[in-house]
Amino acid sequence: MSVDQAEIEKIAQLARIRVAPADITELTDRITGILDLVDQMQAVDTQGVEPLANPLNASQRLREDAVTEADRHAEFQAIAPATEADLYLVPKVID
Amino acid sequence: MTATTLTALSEQLERGELSSVEATRDYLGRIEAHNAALNAIITVTAEQALADAAAADARRAAGEAGPLTGIPLLHKDIFCTNGVRTSCGSRMLDNFLPPYDATVVARLKAAGAVMLGKTNLDEFAMGSSNETSYYGPARNPWDLRRVPGGSSGGSAAAVAAGFAPAATGTDTGGSIRQPAAFCGITGLKPTYGRVSRLGMVAFASSLDQGGPMAATAEDCAMLLQVMAGFDPADSTSAEYEVDDYSGGLAADLSGLKIGLPGEYFGEGLDAGIETALRAALAEYKALGAELVEISLPRTHLAVPAYYVIAPAEASTNLSRFDGVRYGYRCDAPEDLLDLYTRTREEGFGDEVKRRILVGTYALSAGYYDAYYRKAQQIRRLIQQDFLDAFDSVDVIMGPITPHPAWVLGEKTDDPVAMYLEDIYTLGVNLAGLPGMSIPAGFADGLPVGLQLIGPHFSEARLLNIAHRFQLATDWHTRRPTL
Amino acid sequence: MSDGYWETVIGLEVHVQLATDSKIFSGSATAFGASPNSQANAVDLAMPGMLPVLNEKAVRYAVMFGLAIEAEIGRRSVFDRKNYFYPDLPKGYQISQFDHPIVGRGQVQIQLADGSSREIGVTRAHLEEDAGKSLHEDFHGMSGIDLNRAGTPLLEIVSEPELRSAEEAVAYLKTIHSIITYLGISDGNMAEGSMRCDVNISLRPRGEEAFGTRAEIKNVNSFRFVEKAIQVETERQMDILEDGGSVVQETRLYDADRNETRSMRSKEVANDYRYFPEPDLLPVEIDEGYIETLRESLPELPAAKRQRFESEYALGSYDASVLSAERALADYFEAVAACGDAKSAANWVQVELLGALNKSELSMSDCPVPAAELATLIERINDSSISGKIAKQVFDILWSEGGSVDAIIEAKGFKQVSDTGALEAMVAEVIDANPDQVQQYLAADEGKRKKLLGFFVGQIMKASRGQANPKLVNEILAANLDSAS
C-alpha cells in the first residue's frame, strides 16, 4: 500500500513528531517501502485465526490493594525539565 | 592474568588467586585502552565499580561470597541503573538519571556483581547494526570497519573485546543473538516472561526479553540463574519455577532430535555461513544427535508481521517521551503542541521516528484490521508452526543471519534490506520461545553463529546442548586481536 | 412546532472513582487533597521501564457493580491502550477497556417524582485509570501539572440512549449514585470529583426511530448542573432545528455561571485513539467462584430495600424511595423504626431530620442525633410522656446540644402532667375563672359544645405550659362541665 505525503503529515501529527518540510518526500518513500514489505501479509488467509497478543497463554495476576509507595516527588522532580511549587510545568494548557 | 570466561574468573576469585578489585582494574584498563576504537560503552562507572569491587572483596573475606560476588559486568544502556545515566542510545535520554534500578540490575547487584558501565546500542534497541545510536555506532572487534550487530551491539563487542566477562542484553527481534553471532560470543534470549522487564525501557512490550551475553553457555547459565525469575512488578513475568541451569549442562546428547527447517537453509543464506553451520551440525551428529528435516512454512511472514507489531507497540511505548517529566525538552517551546512535536523531532533519531510513524499508521483508524490485527493473527500461525515442530524434535537449529557482519553504512540507506537480515531471528520473539546463538566457526574471517531454538522454558536444555558443543569445539575461545 | 414535537434522547457516561486505597496499576495512595505529586510514583509518572500491575480491589468493585445491575460479567476482559497526548496523561495513553469490558449489559430501575418507575439499560461498564490535573494558575505563562490523581481507578458506566428528559437523567444518576454508595465501591463525593458525568444529547421528532446528531457535554459534576445543562442544551438544539439548521456533532462544556453550553473549539485534528490490547497486561480471567462469593456478599440494594420498606413498614412508594436512596439514611431510618412506629419514624426522619441536615448542609455521616435517641423520642410521644409539640423542642435540643431524650425531658421538666388530682385542680380553676363560657357551653348544642371545649383545653394547656396530658384534660373537662350544669 502506498501512502501519500498528506497521510504521512497526518500520522506525524498524531504521533506528535514535527517533520521538516525538506524531509517529507524521503520519509514518505521509506515508509512506503516498509509498508510494501509488510503488505506481504495481505496474501495470507487468516479467517478465524485468533490474534496472539501475548506469547504465553497466561492471565493477569492481581495485586492486593495496598499502598506501598512513599512520597518521592523531590527525587523524581530533580530530573524534570521544569517544575515549580511541586508541579511539572508545561506551556499553557488551553481546554 | 584475569581469566577470559566468567566461570574461570569466578573460580579464580573463589580460590583467592585474584581480587575483585584487581579484576575490575584489569577490565577498566582494557576499556580505557580500546573503547575509543570500539565505542562499545557509552558510560564507564569506574569509581563506583572499584568501590563495589572492594566491598565484594570484603564480603568474600567475611565468607559471604556467592558465584557472582565481585564479578565485573556491563549492562546494556536500556536497563535502568539508579543514579547512572540510562540513555537508550538516544538524545531523548542523554540526561536521564533513573531514580531506580531495573529488576535485572538489582538482582545482579544483590548477587554481588560489579557494574563497569553501560553499553552502546541502537537507539531504543531499534536496529540490527548499532548504527542508530545517538552516541555513534559501536564497532565489530573482528573488523573495525564492520558493524557489531544490534541492537545489543555494544554488549557483544565489549564481551568479545574482553572489556568484561559478560554483559546483559535485550532481544526484541534478535538483538541478543545477532550481535552475539557477529562478534563470536554466546548469547541467550530467554522465553518471554522468564526475565523481568521492569526497568528495562520498553521497545515492544510483547516481544522484549532480557538475557545474558558471555563467552560460553556455562557463563550464560550462571548469569541467567540470577536474572531469571518471577517479578510481581511485571504482569507479564512468568510464575514458573526457575530451573537449575548450571546443574544440567553436562547431560549427554545421545538421541537428541535436532530439527533443521528447510526455510532456514534455503535461498539467500550466505555459502560461507552454510558451510560453517553444516560442520557444526556434523559435530552434533558426532555427539549422538539425530538431524531431522522440518518445515516452518510461515518463516517468510515473520518479517512483515514483526515490522507491524514491533513498531505499533513502540509507537505508543515511546509516547511518554514528551519533554514534561524527564529527558530531553526542546528549547523555548511556543506552546504545548510545539513542546511535543519539536521535543520528539529533536530527541529521536531517524529510525526511531520512522518506526513510530509506521506503528502509528498500523494502529490508526481504518488500518488496524489490515495491519495490527492481521499481524497478530499471523503471529499465532507462526507460533503454531514452532509448536508443531516441537512435537517431533527437541531443538531447532539454523543460522542467525543470512550474512555475516556488514560494513558500516552499507545498509543504512535501505531500512527494508536491513529488516530482511532479521528473518531467522524474529520468529522466536513472535512465538515467545527461548533462542541462543553460539559461536560455530567463521565465514570470510568473520564469526558465524549457530542458532538454537527450544520450546517455552527449555533454557536449561538449550544451555546443555550449547555447552556440550563447546566442550567439543573451541570456536567460543577465539578472540579478536585489538 | 412546540416542545411536544421533539423528543430528547439522552445517554450518560458516568465516571466513578473506586474507593481503593492504592491506584489501579500502582501502589501509590489515592487520598484526595494531598500535596502536588506526592502520590505519583514512578509508574504513575510513566518513568521509562515502569509497568502496571492490576489492583484486585478495583476488579472486585467493578464485578460488584456488575452484579448489582444484573449485568453479564466479562469472564475474560482485556485492557487496551487509548492513545492521545495531553500533559495530564503521562504515558501518552490511557489504560482502558475497549472490546472486552469487565461488565457487560445490565439495567437499573429509576423512580420518578410521579411515582412511576422505568428500566434504563446500561450498555457496559469498564475499568480505566484517571488522568492527572492541569492547574491553570499562571506560572509565568505556564500551566502546572499535578499527577496525584493519575492512575486512580475509574469505573466508566455507559447508559443506553434511553433517557428522555432532564428529570430522568437526574433520576438515573441518583440511582447509580445510590448503588455505588450502597456497595461501598465509591464515596460518591461529586464535589471532589468521585463521580463525574458526560452527557450525550440529541433531539428527534417524536415517533422517529433514527437518532438525531448528538452533542456531548463533558464533565458535568453535580445533579443540578446535569439537569440545567440538559435543559439549556435541549433548548439550544431545538432552536437550531426549528430554524431549519442542523446540530454539529461535537464536544461541549457546560458553563454554570452563564447557564449555557459552549463548544470546546479545538484547533487540533480529530483524535484517533488507536486502541489496541495493552501488551503490559494480560487478559483478566474471572471465575465462577469469585463471582459467586461476591454475589453472596452483596448488601441489600436500593431497589430491594425500597420494596421491603413498602411491605415491611407500610410506607408509601415516595417515602420508601426517599428513605432508601442513601444507605446511611436507610440504616438510620430502620434503627429509628425499631421503636415500633414506622410511620412516625418515617415522618420524623424525613421532615425533622432531613430538614435539619439540609439546613446545616450536613450529610448523614455528620448527623448529630443518634438514631436510638430519635426512636426514644417517638416512644415518649406514644407513651404520652410528652406531646408532639414538646417533642420538637426536645429534638432541637438533641440536635444542637446532644444528650439523651429522657435526660432532656427530665431536666427541662417537659414531662406531661398525667396526675388526675393535679389536672382536676387545674380544671376546677379554669371553670371557676370563666363562668360566662361555662354558661355558653351548657346552653349550646352538641356541635357547638365541641368547639367551646377547645377553648377550655387551650386555657389548661396554657396554664400547664403545654405539659398537661391533652387526652386526660379532655376527659376531666367534659365530666366537670357536665356536672356543673
Where are the domains positioned within chain A? Answer: 5-43
| Structural domain for B202, as ranges | 6-252+450-477
Give the A window 53-72 contacts with B, CB below 8 Å. 53-56, 58, 60-61, 63, 72
ipTM higher than the 0.95 cut: yes
How far, in whole angstroms, is CA B210 from its chain's centroid? Answer: 7
The minimum CA-CA distance between C156 and chain B, rounded to whole Å, is: 23
A84 → closest Cβ in C21, C139, C272: C139
Report the C-alpha gap between B434 and C98 in whole angstroms.
32
CB contact under 8 A, A90 and C145: yes
Report the C-alpha gap between A19 and B341 in whole angstroms.
8
Nearest-by-CA chain A residue for C144: A89
Q: Is residue B441 part of a domain?
A: no
A62 → closest Cβ in C59, C87, C283: C59
**Residue B73's closest CA among B33, B42, B32, B119?**
B119
What pLDDT is stored for residue C270 in this prediction? 64
Nearest-by-CA chain B residue for C82: B316
**Residue C235's closest CA among C163, C160, C165?**
C165
B235 → closest Cβ in C48, C272, C281: C281
> What domains, with CATH codes, occur in chain C?
6-292 (no CATH), 300-412 (no CATH), 420-484 (1.10.10.410)
Instruction: Check if the beta carbon of residue C158 is closer than 8 Å to that of residue C124.
Output: yes
Phi-psi category of B14—alpha, beta or left, where left has phi over 0 and alpha has psi -120 to 50? alpha
The neighbours of chain A, by the rule of 3 or more Cβ pairs under 8 Å, are B, C
Lowest mean pLDDT, pick from C151-160, C260-269, C394-403: C260-269
Instruction: Check if the beta carbon of residue B383 is closer than 8 Å to that of residue B431.
Output: yes
Chain C partners within 8 Å of B93 (Cβ)? 48
Mutation target for C interface from B345, B363, B369: give the one with most C CBs within 10 A: B363
Nine-digit cell at B269?
A: 543464506
The minimum CA-CA distance between A54 and chain C, rounded to whole Å, is: 7
More confident residue, B227 or C477: B227
pLDDT by residue (tens digit) across C363-411?
888 899 999 999 999 999 998 888 888 899 999 999 999 999 999 988 8
CB contact under 8 A, A86 and C56: no
Percent of chain B whose pLDDT exceeds 90: 96
Report the C-alpha gap between C165 and C111 in whole angstroms.
13
Instruction: Check if the beta carbon of residue C37 is closer than 8 Å to that of residue C146.
Output: yes
- pLDDT of residue C268 exceeding 50: no
**Residue B41's closest CA among B144, B135, B181, B145?**
B135
Does residue C12 sit in helix, strand or coil? strand
pLDDT grade, residue C2 (50/70/90)? low
**Is A48 touching B (CB cutoff 8 A)?**
no
Q: Determine the residue type at B190.
A: P
- pLDDT of residue C485 exceeding 60: no
What pLDDT is stored for residue C415 in this prediction? 78
C272 → closest Cβ in B86, B319, B365: B365
B97 → closest Cβ in A35, A79, A81: A79
Give the C window 44-63 contacts with A, CB below 8 Å. 45, 47, 53-59
Q: At what angle do helices C317-324 and C327-337 cross, to 10 degrees?
A: 120
pLDDT grade, residue C412 (50/70/90)? confident
Q: Which residue has the cell 450518560?
A: C12
Q: Read off the pLDDT of each residue in C292-308 and give the average, rounded to a whole number.
A: 94
Nine-digit cell at B440?
A: 560455530
CB contact under 8 A, C27 and A67: yes
What pLDDT is stored for residue C34 in this prediction? 95
Q: On the CB side of C441, how many CA atoms lie within 13 Å of its CA?
A: 22
The minimum CA-CA distance between B203 and chain C, rounded to whole Å, is: 10
Q: CATH number, domain at B10?
A: 3.90.1300.10
Pick out chain A residues at pLDDT < 70.
1, 95
Report the C-alpha gap between C313 and C134 in whole angstroms.
50
Give the B window 135-174 contacts with C, CB below 8 Å. none
pLDDT grade, residue C476 (50/70/90)? confident
More confident residue, C422 or C335: C335
What is the H or E stretch that residue C481 is in?
Answer: helix C470-484
Q: How deeply is C418 buried, as exposed, middle or buried, from its count of CB atoms within 10 A (0-12, 13-18, 19+)? A: middle
pLDDT by residue (tens digit) across C368-380?
999 999 999 999 9
Q: What's the number of domains chain B is made of?
A: 1
B-C contacts at Cβ under 8 angstroms: 95
pLDDT grade, residue C281 (50/70/90)? very high
Q: Which residues of B are catalytic?
A: 76, 151, 175
Q: Is residue B29 part of a domain?
A: yes
- pLDDT of residue B275 exceeding 90: yes
Q: Read off the pLDDT of each residue in C172-179 and give the average, rounded to a whole number.
A: 95
What pLDDT is stored for residue C480 in this prediction? 83
C133-139/C117-129 β-pairing: unpaired
Report the C-alpha gap between A42 and C438 in whole angstroms.
110
